[in-house]
Amino acid sequence: MASDSLSITDNRTGKQYELPIADGSVRAADLRQIKTSDDDFGLLSYDPSLLNTATVRSAVTYIDGDAGILRYRGYPIEQLAEHSTYLEVVYLLLNGELPNKEQLLEFEEDVRFRTMVLETVREQMETYRYDAHPMGMLLGSMATMSTYYPASRDVMDLESRKIQTVRAISKVATVAAWCYRHTLSYPFIYPDNDLTYAGNFLNMLFRMVEPKYVPNPVIERAIDVLFILHADHEQNASANAMRAIASSQADPYSALAGAIGSLSGPLHGGANEAVIRMLQFIGRKDNVPEFIKNVKDGTSGRLMGFGHRVYKNYDPRARIIKTLADQVFEVTGVNPLLEIALELERIALEDDFFVSRQLYPNVDFYSGLIYQAMGFPVEMFPVLFAVPRTSGWMAQWNEGVTDREQRIVRPRQIYVGEGERDYVPINQR
């Protein structure tokens, strides 16, 4: 009778061990019993970058990378993008169930109630240089919120967690819009709570002298769908950063700053900015074959917006964004870089170098084309990723701080440095 266990023979000692298998995994701690002597520390598992290590049990988001499946709390991303709204999805991520009408109205009201940001945040933002990168300003501003809400340090208090969660999700949009306004030296626009979350975001970004900002419905819906698509993605690098920082019971704003920092990298959320710079560098459709050749021989860096640690198939979000682009371009005009992007995708998907490495377009490949067509500078693209991902980070945070299996994150290491040696006086070196 097959049993859910691993039989291991340590050939160094001839000893045999049975390791239980649960949920398709073995517990790394079970390896510690495998020793060569009583004073042996026992075996570690070595997994740089956590390529093959589950660090948490989570019910928030499910990804099947081979099948190109993404579900939030069991609901397929395609259905949520078509039928839901961003705040309804946020409620789902946080609470595990879709809200009924009353619950949704109450949640939307709670988010609207917290859109204002303290004036000291605005004053701090005005001290940034004119050319400060918006991601740096966002990171700094969200970190500063830990100084305004000291009660946020009581991470084990449910009511405090609820307030901080809504505060972060609501205020990140206001702060993000103000980062954009600062780069233009425009006056900051205050929230208009008559508008939807996406509509108010557009208001704080783009309102000029008109007494009341009226969002274009196509653009408003496109932002709402883009926010749904970017809301969460299980244990990506920035979610891992959020959980690791929060594992010391640091406040959620300090953890958010770390998550934003992780997302800002060009291999993660900074890729949407890197994609546009790559397309601008290529310049014309007929330069694509040469560029692809250079990527393959390593002289042009990576094909940004392609590849994924989990998806070994087309990123389902990229498919939806590609369709959304056509709707946005009907309003904004087609982004001239689109034909270069389409040619890059066409060639890459036929080229064995990319196919053999299972490199397909990811969420960042087309999103930047939409943001650019909407008028955003490339520096704002990762900020537009961070705004909706704040809801995912907060959902992961709430799940992590209440997970009784979790303790402070403190990995082991394999020491490869010098053995013990004595200090040498400087006149003898």
Q: What amino acid positions are annotated as catalytic residues? A: 268, 308, 364
The one among 58, 165, 183, 362 contacting ligand SDX by CB under 6 A: 362
The residue type at 67 = A
Q: Which stretch binds ligand SDX (CB under 6 A): 5-13, 89-97, 181-189, 305-313?
A: 305-313
Give me 347's structure tokens: 């060639």
> In 3D, which of 196, 280, 269, 178 has the Cα closest to residue 231?
269
- The reply to whether 357 sits near ligand SDX by the rule CB under 6 A is yes
Q: Which stretch binds ligand SDX (CB under 6 A): 10-18, 186-194, 263-271, 417-425?
A: 263-271
Distance CA 91, CA 106 (A): 11
- The reply to whether 359 sits near ligand SDX by the rule CB under 6 A is yes
Residue 338 CB, nearest distance to ligand SDX (Å)? 18
- The answer to whether the beta carbons of residues 212 and 192 sit under 8 Å apart is yes
- The reply to whether 243 sits near ligand SDX by the rule CB under 6 A is no
Distance CA 222, CA 370 (A): 9
The residue type at 340 = I
The one among 85, 141, 236, 367 contacting ligand SDX by CB under 6 A: 236
203-222: which residues touch ligand SDX (CB under 6 A)? none
The one among 105, 214, 267, 331 contacting ligand SDX by CB under 6 A: 267
The footprint of ligand SDX on this chain (CB under 6 A) covers a number of residues equal to 21
Residue 347 CB partners (closer than 8 Å, separation 6+): 288, 289, 292
| C-alpha R_g of the chain | 24
Q: Give the residue with the Cβ less far from ligand SDX, 134 or 305.
A: 305
- The reply to whether 71 sits near ligand SDX by the rule CB under 6 A is no
Give me 146's structure tokens: 């830990």
Residue 171 CB, nearest distance to ligand SDX (Å)? 21
| 200, 206, 208, 214: CA torsion to nearest 10 | -50
- The answer to whether the beta carbons of residues 60 and 51 sit under 8 Å apart is no
Residue 95 CB partners (closer than 8 Å, separation 6+): none
The one among 75, 302, 327, 406 contacting ligand SDX by CB under 6 A: 302
Residue 270 CB, nearest distance to ligand SDX (Å)? 8
The one among 80, 219, 288, 363 contacting ligand SDX by CB under 6 A: 363
Residue 191 CB, nearest distance to ligand SDX (Å)? 27
Neighbours of 10 (CB within 10 A): 14
Distance CA 270, CA 380 (A): 10
Distance CA 328, CA 219 (A): 6
- The reply to whether 341 sits near ligand SDX by the rule CB under 6 A is no
Report the phi/psi class of residue 17: left, alpha or beta, with left for phi > 0 and alpha for psi in -120 to 50.
beta
- The reply to whether 319 sits near ligand SDX by the rule CB under 6 A is no
- The answer to whether the beta carbons of residues 236 and 395 sit under 8 Å apart is no
Give ∠ CA 156-138-114 in degrees, rounded to 5.
55
Distance CA 392, CA 113 (A): 20
Q: Which stretch binds ligand SDX (CB under 6 A): 70-78, 90-98, 201-209, 306-314?
A: 306-314
The one among 35, 114, 122, 268 contacting ligand SDX by CB under 6 A: 268
The one among 215, 307, 316, 400 contacting ligand SDX by CB under 6 A: 307
- The reply to whether 259 sits near ligand SDX by the rule CB under 6 A is no
Residue 204 CB, nearest distance to ligand SDX (Å)? 24
The one among 220, 364, 379, 399 contacting ligand SDX by CB under 6 A: 364
Q: Give the residue with the Cβ less far from ligand SDX, 215 or 368.
A: 368
- The reply to whether 114 sits near ligand SDX by the rule CB under 6 A is no
- The reply to whether 279 sits near ligand SDX by the rule CB under 6 A is no
Q: Give the residue with the Cβ less far from ligand SDX, 47 or 330.
A: 47
The one among 94, 177, 255, 304 contacting ligand SDX by CB under 6 A: 304
C-alpha 334, offset from chain centre: 27
3-state secondary structure of 125: helix
Residue 282 CB, nearest distance to ligand SDX (Å)? 14
End-to-end CA distance of the chain: 66
Q: Which residues contact ligand SDX by CB under 6 A? A: 233, 236, 267-269, 271, 295, 302-310, 357, 359, 362-364
